[in-house]
Every structure is written in structure tokens, then in C-alpha cells.
Amino acid sequence: MSQDINQVSQQRRRFIGAAAGAAAGAVAGAASAAGVVVAALSSSVAGNAEAAPRTEPVSDRHRWGMLIDTAKCADGCTACVDACDRENGLNLQSEPLGNDEEKWQNQRPVWIRKVKLQDNATGVVTNLPLMCQHCEHPPCVDVCPTGASFKRADGIVMVDRHTCIGCRYCIMACPYKARSFVHEPVEHKLTRAPRGMGCVESCNLCMHRLDEGQTTTACSDACAAGGHHAILFGDLKDPDSPLRQAMAAQPSRQIREELELNTGVRYAGL
Amino acid sequence: MSNLQPKPGGRAGVAPLVPLVLRFLGLSFLGLSWAGAAQASGVGDFVVESSRAAKLNNCVEPTEYMRRYHMEVIRHQRDTTVYGGIRSTKHSLAGCVDCHVGYDAQHEPVAINAKRQFCKRCHNYAAVTLNCFDCHATLPEGEGWNQVRLQVHDKRHMDASSQGHRTEHAKATLSGPSTAAAAAPEGRER
């Protein structure tokens, strides 16, 4: 009985989603039907041209995800965090003058956090990088009042900063504390990663790389370059991808799997 | 107007104010005529001489179209990019910046939203707030992430990898998109 109470009802979630989407669905019906045809036509083309920049809209033929082997994640190593900061220009933002150092450290945007877990019974310590888990049913998307927080067709959960009003409801809703809010004006921005004050942001699986046909992320590259190979990025929908093969070879878990969010980021050795 | 003219028989208390009023009117008139002159000659002269755009006949669409509708074009591209992941060059804001950014005497790019630069000058003139660059890069930081410059990027990427690690933002971003990310671990190994 208690198990039933704790279980999140997918049916309830679907019902609420259907009720909210009923009005929009009627309008978008024709458009989505056209979209299916376009995706079907483009699939053969896109399959050959993986290395080229994208010319067709993203489709649900791929779902990008990661497998993180916590056994390989080294204590004290921050290669993935640093690489993420550089890739997305987070390191270009410096502490505002006159700001309290502790406040800055608490509030500065971070897309990957290194988390250290200790099992008190056994003393076993586990290190892992925690970022946006790119849920199939993202709570941040459910709560967003403007639709700015959305899931792209290829499974990437991200923020459309053009419509984000900075209410930070998604930060509250995320079970993984994955999202950050930009409190201060951003002087230096990168072309590939626009970001500015007043918007929420989080890991987007280096979508600018994916859009250019690359299938790597800055964190997985940095982890591999550091010799750890703890982060494996790939396509969850391709049964032959190295990611799926690695997942088949060893048990892996979702963090907070009881929420049934079907995360795109999985952890082995946890 | 007639009551503002100096009156010979006016009272002594009012007389000192009259020249002041006249002077104010004269200044206003000068101001209006200056604005009129600016309107006649000003529109369309905002392309910065040192930018690549100055060497081209027109923008990605005919100039008249771009003047009136550039925002529509950018907004359409914006949704295509954010939701569809298509970062094409033709209507991308990165393309605007890349082509319209001016260069100073040292051939260093000047922020496109800086005073007297392309975007800012015209938006100032039209009194329209410009907030693209609250988030978007104001300099072509060597990383278009688009079709045209991908090969250039790859070349730079390889060159920079052999040179080693540079993290400081100005130089790192100028030298290529994933240069900083890819080169850093190599720096660590050394």
C-alpha cells in the first residue's frame, strides 16, 4: 500500500498533460502531421551526413544521453567542470566588485557539480558529476509558466532564453539542482553559447556541437583526455551505439529513479 | 507668438525675461532644423567603413528589405535555431555580427553594440532599444559554428591544438570554438 502511495502515477501525469495540451493540440495537429512527413523524408539524408552541420530540424530519431561510470570518476578531479565552464563561457563571468565571496560561490552559474557521496555504513566514497539529467518527463518543463523550459525533439532539456522571464520556478522543481540563474550582467559571451542576466540556464549536452554534426561533449572529451573515461556520451536510441553497448554491459541507475523521470543521464557503480 | 514679441511699452519687471524667451525659441528652431538635416542624410549611412559589410553591395537580402524587416528575419532564425537546432549562416545573428563588426586601427574587432558602431548607431537614431547583446556575443569570437566557417574552425582547431593551451577568454575565444576545451587537457598533460 505504502509503495502505491510513493509510486508516481504516470497515468495522472499523462492525464494532466493531455488536459493542458488539448487546446493546443487541436491547433498544432496539422503542423505536427506535416512535421512527421518532413522527418521521415529527411531521415535517409541525415543518416549519411552526421558530420555536417544540421540542415533539417532535430527529430526524435536520436535521444542523447550519457553513462557515467562513478568507479572511474576521480576524487578531486574537476576536468569536466572546467571544460564545461570554458565551452559555455561560464568562466568569462567574474565575481562582481564588492560582492561577498561566499555569496558569489553560492550563486555563480554552474552546469556540472562534482558530488561526493559517502556510505556511512561502509565508508565507501563515490564521486560523480551531476548535471541536468535530461529527463523524458522533465519537471522543469511541467512548471515553466512561459514555455521557455522545453525538451527538444532529440531529448535535450533546455531553456529558450528569449521567453524565459527568470521566475526560477524550474530551479525549484528540478530534483537534481541542475539549473542556475544568472544574477549579474554578462560582459563576455561566446558566439556558440549566448547567455545573459535574468535567465535560467543548465547543461544542454553541448547542443552547439551536436548541431554542427559532432557527437561529443566538452565534459566527456575532457574526462577522456584526463585518462579517466568516466563519461560516455551517445545516442540512447541507437542500439549499436557505444553508449547502449556500455549500458548493456553493466548495470546502471538513474538518480532519484523513484520519480520515474526516465533520465537521459545514467550512472554505473552507484 | 505676438505676445512673446518684445513690447516697447512693457513693464520693467517683464522686460529682462524677453531676451531669454527669444533665445530659447531660437535654440529650439536650430535643434529642429538639425534633426531635419540628419533625417535627410542619416538613414543608411550606418555601415561601418572598416567592416566586411562595407565592401559588399547588399546584405543577405536586399538592403531596403533588411532595413525594414531585419528583426523579423532574425526572430525567425532564432526559433529555427533554438527549437530545430539549425544554425545556418544566412539569417543568423552571428552572421550579422561577423559581417557588420568594425575594426579599429590595430585590426581588432570593436563590439557591434558599442557607441558609433553599426547596430548601436542606427538603433540610437531610431530610438529603439537593442537588447540582443545582453546575451549574444558582440564580437565575432572566431567561432561561427556555422557551415561557412566550420572548415576555418577545424583548421584553427588543429593549429591551436599543436600550439597548446590558452584559456584567457579574449585569446582563447578568438582562436576557435572548442580550442579551449580541447587544448586544456593537453596543457595538463605536459
ipTM comes to 0.78
CA B1 – CA B12 distance, rounded (Å):
20
CA A17 – CA A15 distance, rounded (Å):
5
A53 found inside a domain:
no
Boundaries of domain holding A118: 62-268
A165 found inside a domain:
yes
CB contact under 8 A, B189 and A225: yes
A159 found inside a domain:
yes
A57 found inside a domain:
no
> How many CB pairs (< 8 A) connect A and B?
117
Could you identify the residue written with the cell 547567455? A195
* Residue A189, pLDDT above cutoff 70: yes
CB contact under 8 A, A91 and B144: no
A142 and A34: one domain? no
Read off the C-alpha cell for A158.
533546455
Residue A8's pLDDT is what? 57
Residue B141's pLDDT is what? 72
CB contact under 8 A, B86 and A55: yes
Residues B117-140 have pLDDT tens digits of 999 999 998 999 989 999 999 988
Beta strands A64-69 and A265-268 are: parallel
Q: What is the mean pLDDT of residues A23-27?
A: 50
A220 and A98: one domain? yes
A36 and A66: one domain? no
Half-sphere exposure of B182 (CA within 13 A, CB side): 19
Min Cα separation A54/chain B (Å): 6
B184 CB within 8 Å of a chain A CB: yes
Q: What percent of chain A has pLDDT over 90?
A: 69
* Residue B141 with chain A: CB contacts under 8 Å: 190-191
A22 and A114: one domain? no
Residue A178's pLDDT is what? 96
Residue A95's pLDDT is what? 83
Q: Please state which of the ranges A9-13, A51-55, A183-187, B63-67 shows the lowest mean pLDDT.
A: A9-13
Comparing CA positions, the residue from A134, A102, A129 lying closest to residue A222 is A129
A23 and A137: one domain? no
A268 with A69: CB under 8 angstroms?
Answer: yes
Q: What is the mean pLDDT of residues A177-193?
A: 92
CB contact under 8 A, B186 and A54: no
pLDDT tens string, chain B, 190 residues long: the values are 444 444 444 444 445 555 555 555 444 444 444 444 444 444 567 888 888 888 888 888 898 899 899 999 999 999 999 999 998 768 888 888 888 989 889 888 889 999 889 999 999 989 999 899 999 999 887 554 444 444 443 444 445 444 443 333 333 333 333 333 333 333 333 3
Q: Count structural domains, chain A.
A: 2
CA B163 – CA B179 distance, rounded (Å):
10
As a dihedral over the C-alpha atoms of residue A260, residue A169, residue B76, residue A134, rounded to 10 degrees, the angle is -30
Average pLDDT over chain A, rounded to an integer:
86
CB contact under 8 A, A190 and B137: yes
CA A198 – CA A239 distance, rounded (Å):
40
Q: Which CATH number fits the domain that encloses residue A67?
A: 3.30.70.20
A10 found inside a domain:
yes
* Residue A79, pLDDT above cutoff 90: yes
Q: Read off the DSSP letter of residue A73.
A: P
A130 and A185: one domain? yes
Q: What string of H, E and C letters represents the secondary structure of chain B?
A: CHHHCCCCCCCCCCCCHHHHHHHHHHHHHHHHHHHHHHHHHHCCCCCCCCCHHHHCCCCCCCHHHHHHHHHHHHHHHHHHHHHHCCCCCCCCHHHHHHHHCEECCCCCEECCCCCCCHHHHHHHHHCCCCCHHHCCCCCCCCCCCCHHHHHHHHHHHHHHHHHCCCCCHHHHHHCCCCHHHHHHHHHHHC
Q: Strand pairing partners for B4?
A: none
CA A100 – CA A81 distance, rounded (Å):
23
A29 and A72: one domain? no
Residue B24's pLDDT is what? 52
- Smallest Cβ distance to B184: which of A150, A161, A222? A222
Residue B49's pLDDT is what? 87
A68 and A43: one domain? no
CB contact under 8 A, B143 and A221: no
pLDDT tier for residue A171 given thresholds of 50, 70 and 90? very high
A56 found inside a domain:
no
A77 and A115: one domain? yes
Sequential DSSP letters for A77-137: --HHHHHHHHHTTGGG--PPTT--HHHHHHHS--S-EEEEEE-TTT--EEEEEE-----SS
A55 found inside a domain:
no
Q: What percent of chain A has pLDDT over 70?
A: 83
Residues 141-200 of A with CB under 8 A from B: 150, 152, 154, 158, 160-162, 185-186, 188-192, 194-199
Q: What is the mean pLDDT of residues A136-153?
A: 97
Residues with Cβ within 8 Å of B51's Cβ and at least 6 positions away in sequence, in order, are: B99, B100, B101, B102, B103, B118
Beta strands A125-130 and A231-235 are: unpaired
Could you identify the residue written with the cell 540563474? A181
A98 with A104: CB under 8 angstroms?
Answer: no
Residues 149-178 of B with CB under 8 A from A: 150, 167, 169-170, 172-173, 177-178
Residues A26-75 have pLDDT tens digits of 544 444 444 444 444 444 334 444 467 888 899 999 999 999 999 999 99
Residues A194-240 have pLDDT tens digits of 999 999 999 999 999 999 889 999 999 999 999 999 999 999 999 99
A54 found inside a domain:
no
* End-to-end C-alpha distance for chain A, whole angstroms: 28
A18 and A89: one domain? no
A209 CB within 8 Å of a chain B CB: yes
DSSP three-state, residue A157: strand
pLDDT tier for residue A163 given thresholds of 50, 70 and 90? very high
